Structure 1
Amino acid sequence: MLPAALRRWLRRPKRSDPRLLSQFFFADERVTRVVAEINGLNAELDPQQYLVLLNQLHLSQAHLLAVLERIMEECIPTQRHSRDYLVKFPEELLVDNLGNHMLFAAECLLAGTFLEVEEMDGAQLRTQARNLLCSLELVRTVLREQSLSQPGSYPEPVRAVLIQFDWLFAEFELSYVSSLVAVKSPEEIYRQQEIIVLFCETVERALRLGYLTQEMIDGYEPLLMFTIPRLAIISGLLIYPEGPLSLEQSPEQMSQVFSPFYNLLKKIRDLLQVLSTEELCLLERSLCTAESEDPCVPATPPAWGAAMDHAAPWGLLEVPCAPSLPPPCTAQLGPSSAVDDPGTARRWGPQSPGSSPGLHATPAAHCLELRSRYSSTKDMLHTLFVCISGVADQLQTNFASDLRSILKTVFKIVASQAEPLEEPGARRARRLPEWVPDSMCSQCSACRSPFTLLRRRHHCRSCGKIFCARCSPHATALPHYGQPKPVRVCTHCYTAHLPPVPRRTRSQ
C-alpha cells in the first residue's frame, strides 16, 4: 500500500493539462504556498518582503477565483445564483476583479479589522463572511480531491458545494456593497432605462437633422458627453413630454438624475414653447457645437453665426422683441421629419402639435409676456443656452457615474456595428503612444494621489501616461497597437476611447 503523500504525488495533474480542474489544482497550490510563506515570516523584521508576499497573495487569489468562475460556468451554468442585482451598483464598483475584493473584505470582517461598516451591519456581515470563507475552503478541498482522481468530470457532490458557494458569494456581495453605498431601487433602475431610451431617440433625431454625424458617434467624440444630454433636455421637454422628463409628475416620481432640476426644467420648458422652428433649430445647433459659454455675456456663440445663413435668414437674433415678429407660438417645434417617426415611437413616443399640452400653441399674450422679459431674441436664446448647458453640465458633476453608465449604453446601441477583425499582419499597427518616464511623474495622472511604497506606478498602454492601480483597473486588447492580448489601460481610455464591448470579452 503506497503512502498517501506518494499517491498524491503520482496523481498530480500535468501543468500542460488544459482541463479546468487541473488548472485549479495549481492555482490552489500557489495560494497555499504563499499563505505558508506569509505565516512563516516576521512582518516586523522584514516589512518589505511581507508587502511583496501580500501582493502575491492578492494576485494568486484573483487567479484562483477566475478559474473557479470558469469551473462554475462549465459545471452549473443553469443553476447559478442570479447576478441581476449588479445593475443596482455604482459603475465604478463593477470592475473585473470585484470578486477578489469581496473575498478580501470577507477576510477583513472575520478578522475584525474592517472599520467602514456600521456596527449593526457588521454582525450580519461577519456571519455571512464566515459562511462564505468556510464554503470556499470546502470547495477548495473537494476540487483538489477531484482534480487528483477524475479531473474531467463533476460528480454530484462537487456540483452541490459549487451551488452553495455561488449562493453564499452572491448573498454576501449584495449585503456588503449595500452597507457601504446607496444601491439603486428597482424603480430608479427603470427610470434610468427610460432615460436611455430618451437619449437614443435624441441621437437618432440629431442624426436626421444633421446636428451629429455617425462618424462622431463611432469615434466617441468627447464633446458628445455634453452634447447628447443637452439635446436630450430639449427632446424630453418638447418632443417627448410624457417621457422621463415629464413635468406633469412630481419630482419624487422622476429619476434622481433630473429631479433636483425640476423647477429649472419648468422654466426652460416655458421658454422653449415660445420658440419658432428656426429659433429652436438655432438653439440646438449652438448646443451641439459650443463647448462653453460665458453666462454673463449674451454674445453670439461661435456656432450661431454659421447657422444664421440657413436657419434665420431674416437676422432673427438682431430683431428686438416686438408684436411685429412672425407669430412664433404657432410654429411647429421642429420640422416634421425631426419630430415624427412612427418607426421609433415608444409608449411615450413623439407627440404632434395639439396632442399634448407640452406642444400646444401658447396664447399670444403669454408668449409676448415671456419675450418681453428679454431685450432681444438673442438674449432669450442665450438664457436658454446657459440654463440647458448648466443642467447638462451639472449632471457630469453630480451624477457622473449614472450619466457615464447611461451614455455607455447609448453608444452601444447607436454606434455602427464593428467591422470584422482583419487578419494578423493585414494592416500595420499604429505607432505606440509615447510613454511617460517614471522619473517624470510623482503622482497619478487622474486622481493626483502621490505614489508611495504601496501606491505603485502603472502605465496605460493606450495613452502612455502613469496612473495608480485604482485609476487603471481595466485590461483590454489593443489590436491597433499590436496588442492582441488584454493589457492595462486607464479608466478614461477604457471609457472614452475604446469601443464598447462586453466586460467578459475584454477580460478574456
Structure 2
Amino acid sequence: MLPAALRRWLRRPKRSDPRLLSQFFFADERVTRVVAEINGLDAEQDPQQYLVLLNQLHLSQAHLLAVLERIMEECIPTQRHSRDYLVKFPEEVLVDNLGNHMLFAAECLLAGTFPELEEADGAQLRPQARNLLCSLELARTVLREQSLSQPSSYPEPVRAVLVQFDRLFAEFELSYVSSLVAVKSPEEIYRQQEIIVLFCDTVERALRLGYLTQEMIDGYEPLLMFTIPRLAIISGLLIYPEGPLSLERSPEEMSRVFSPFYNLLKKIRDLLRVLSVEELCVLERSLCTAELEDPCGPDIPPVWGAAVSRVDLPAPFSLLEVPCATPPTSTCKMQLGLPGAIDDPGTNWQRGPQPLGSSPGTGIDATLDAHWSELRSRYSSTKDMLHTLFVCISGVADQLQTNFASDMRSILKTVFKIVASQAEPSEEPSASRE
C-alpha cells in the first residue's frame, strides 16, 4: 500500500504546471477537501463555519467545472453535445454559474428534495440527476488518474467518459430548466428572429433619415430602448407589411410579443395609411424625442396614400426614398414601397393630393379615398389625429418593455450588436508594407 501511495505522491503535478489536466488535479483535490470538511462538521454546533464551507464548496465546484469545460473543448471539440437549446431559455436563466446550479439541483434531487419543482417533476428528473452525478464522479476519477500518469494526452477511454458526461449534462440541463420555466418553441424563436430583422431595418432607415445617429447607437443611448420599438411598429405596419407585424396573419400566428396588441395594431395601421408624408415625418420625429411636435401650419393638407402603398399592391421590399414635405429638414425622407413608382425630384409634395405611384391626371380609388376621408373626419384636427397615433404607438412599445422585458432585452441586445460600429482590425506592419 505504501509504495503505491508513494508513487502517486511522486507523480503529483506541480502547481505551476500549465497543462489542463494538472490544473484539474488541484481543482478536484480542493473540492474533495472541502467536502470532507463539511462532512466532518456539525452544522448545528457551528452554523457560521458551515456557511463558510458551503460557500467555499460552491466556488471550488465552479472552478472545477470551468477547468472541465476547457478540457472538453480541447479533448472532444467536435463531439460536444449541441447546446442550441439554450436559445429557448429566458434571458434571466442564462447566468454565468448555470452549470454549477445544475449540479446543485441534481444533488438535491438525488437526496430526495425538489427545490423550485413540483414533486411529480422532481421524481421524473431524479433518474437523470443520478446518471449525471455518477458520470461526473467517473469523469473525475478518470481525469485524476490521467493527470498522474500522462497529463499531456487524452486516450480514447478518457474521451469516451467526457462525451458521455457532456451528453448527460446537456440532457439534464434542458429537462430541468424546461420544468422550471416556459421555454420557447422553434416557431417562437423564428418569430423573434423576424423581429430582430425588423428592428435592424428600422434602425438602418432611421439612420438614413436622420432620426438617429450612429453616435447614439454606439453610446447605447437609453432613449433608444423605447425609440427603436416605436419606430419599428410603424415600419412593421407600413413599410414591411408581410413581416412579423403582418396583420394578415391570425393573432396566434404572430409572435407572442405583439399578438396581445393585434386589434390595436389594426387601428394604428389604418390611421397610418391616411397620413401625408409630412405628417408621418412629424410623427416619427416625435416618437424619437418622446414629445409630440406641432404639425407645420394649422392643418396640413393630406397627400392621400403618399405614406403607404395601395392595398392591392404586393409587399414593399424594394424601397423607394421620397423627400419629406418639411422644407428645412433635407434629411427627412420616407421609404416607400410602391412597385413601379418613380422618384421624381421635381415633384411638389405640397401641391395637393397626388398619390404616389399614380399617373398625373388619375385619382385614387374612390372607395379608398372615401374611407380615408372618413377616418380623418373623426378627428378635430391633424394635431389631434397625430396625438392619438403618438399615444397608441408609444403605449404599445412601452407595454412591450413591461410585459415582455426578457424578450425585449434579448432582441435589443442582438440589434445593438448588429448595428453598432465595428472596430476595424489594426493592420500588421508587414501587411501594410505589402
Q: What TM-score does the superposition give when structure 2 sets the normalisation length? A: 0.85
Amino acid of the residue matched to residue 353 of structure 1?
L
Give 1:330's aligned residue: 305
Structure 1 338/407 Cα, relative in aligned 2: closer, same or farther at 3 Å?
Answer: farther
Runs of 5+ in structure 1 lacking a partner?
Answer: 294-300, 320-324, 342-349, 422-508
2:431 corresponds in structure 1 to none
Residue pair 1:209, 1:338 contacting (<8 A) in 2 also:
no
CA distance in 2, matches of 1:147, 1:340: 65
SS of residue in 2 equivalent to 1:331: coil
Contact 1:251-1:260 within 8 A present in 2 as well = yes
Match of 2:320 in 1: 340
Deviations 1:112-142 (A, max 9, x none): 2224222332222110000000000000000
- Paired residue type of 2:338: P
**Which whole-Å CA distance do the structure 1 matches of 2:222 and 2:135 have between them?**
46
1:113 aligns with 2:113: yes
Residue aligned with 2:304, SS: helix
Q: Which structure is larger by alpha-carbon Rg, 1 or 2?
A: 2
Counterpart among 399, 405, 410 of residue 400 in structure 1: 405
Distance between the aligned counterparts of 2:336 and 2:4, measured in 1? 78
Instruction: Give the superposition deviation at 1:278.
Output: 0.2
Map 1:133-172; keep pairs closer than 5 Å. 133-172=133-172
* DSSP-derived class of the 2:264 partner: helix
- Is 1:352 equivalent to 2:352 in the alignment? no
Q: TM-score, normalised by structure 1?
A: 0.73
Q: Contact 2:108–2:115 (CA<8 Å) still a contact in 1?
A: no
Tell whether the 8 Å contact from 1:276 to 1:332 is kept in structure 2 after alignment.
Answer: yes
Q: Distance in 2 between matches of 1:206 and 1:414?
A: 12
For residues 155 and 340 of structure 1, what CA distance do their matches in structure 2 show? 62
Give the whole-Å Cα distance in 1 for the aligned partners of 2:220 and 2:318.
Answer: 23
Q: Distance in 1 between matches of 2:70 and 2:288?
A: 45
In structure 2, the partner of 1:388 is 393
Match of 1:122 in 2: 122
Task: Indicate how the Cα distance of structure 1 residues 142 and 210 shifts in structure 2: closer, same or farther if over 3 A, else same.
Answer: same
Deviates more, 1:363-372 or 1:219-228: 363-372
Give the 5 Å matches for 1:403-442.
Answer: 403-418=408-423
Q: Distance in 2 between matches of 1:235 and 1:88?
A: 27
- Alignment partners' CA distance in 1, 2:301 and 2:412: 38
Question: 1:353: how far off?
Answer: 2.8
1:255-266 equivalence runs, <5 A:
255-266=255-266
Amino acid at match of 2:369: A
For 2:378 and 2:397, the matched residues in 1 are separated by 24
Question: What residue is the counterpart of 2:346 in the other structure?
Answer: none
Superposed CA deviations along residues 93-115 of structure 1, whole A, max 9, x for unmatched, are 11121101111111111112224
The question of whether the paired residues in 1 share the 8 Å contact of 2:34 and 2:53 is answered with: yes
User: Unmatched 5+ residue regions in structure 2?
Assistant: 310-315, 322-334, 341-356, 359-363, 427-434
1:251-275 Cα distance to aligned partner (Å, 9 max, x none): 0000001000000000000000000
Measure the CA separation in 1 of the matches of 2:143 and 2:372: 75
**1:333 CA drift (Å):** 4.3
Correspondence 1:472-483 to 2 at 5 A: none
In structure 1, distance between residues paired with 2:76 and 2:337: 52
CA deviations over 1:131-163 (Å, ceiling 9, x no partner):
000000000000000000000000000000000
Do the aligned partners of residues 230 and 417 (structure 1) sit closer, same or farther apart at CA in structure 2, a change above 3 Å counting? same
Task: Give the distance between the partners of 1:82 and 1:262, measured in 2 at CA.
Answer: 36
Q: Which amino acid aligns with 2:286?
A: S
Letter in 1 for 2:145: E
Aligned residues: 385
Q: Which amino acid aligns with 1:229?
A: P
Query: Contact 2:191/2:244 (CA < 8 Å) preserved in 1?
Result: yes
Task: Specify the code of the residue in structure 2 equivalent to 1:10.
Answer: L
C-alpha contact (below 8 Å) 1:208/1:338 kept by paired residues:
no
TM-aligned CA distance change 1:351 to 1:132, over 3 Å:
farther
The aligned residue for residue 456 of structure 1 is: none
Correspondence for 2:384 among 379, 382, 386: 379
Cα deviations by residue, 1:430-482 (Å, 9 ceiling, x for unpaired): xxxxxxxxxxxxxxxxxxxxxxxxxxxxxxxxxxxxxxxxxxxxxxxxxxxxx
Q: Which has the higher contact order (CA 8 A, sep 6+)?
A: 2
What does residue 219 of structure 2 align with? 219
Q: Which residue of 1 aligns with 2:238?
A: 238
Residue aligned with 2:380, SS: coil
Percent of aligned positions with the same letter in both sequences? 86
Q: What is the alpha-carbon distance in structure 1 between the residues aligned to residue 19 and residue 124 of structure 2?
A: 38
Contact 2:275/2:302 (<8 A) preserved: no
Q: Does the CA-based 8 Å contact 2:226-2:398 persist in structure 1?
A: yes
SS of 1:256's equivalent in the other structure is coil
How far the C-alpha of 1:92 sits from its partner, in A, is: 1.0
* Structure 1 contact 240–351 (Cα < 8 Å) conserved: no
Alignment check: 8 A CA contact 1:192 1:255 kept: yes
Tell me how far apart the structure 2 counterparts of residues 3 and 161 of structure 1 sit (CA, whole Å): 29
Answer whether contact 1:21 1:152 (CA < 8 A) is retained.
Answer: yes
1:176 correspondence with 2:176: yes
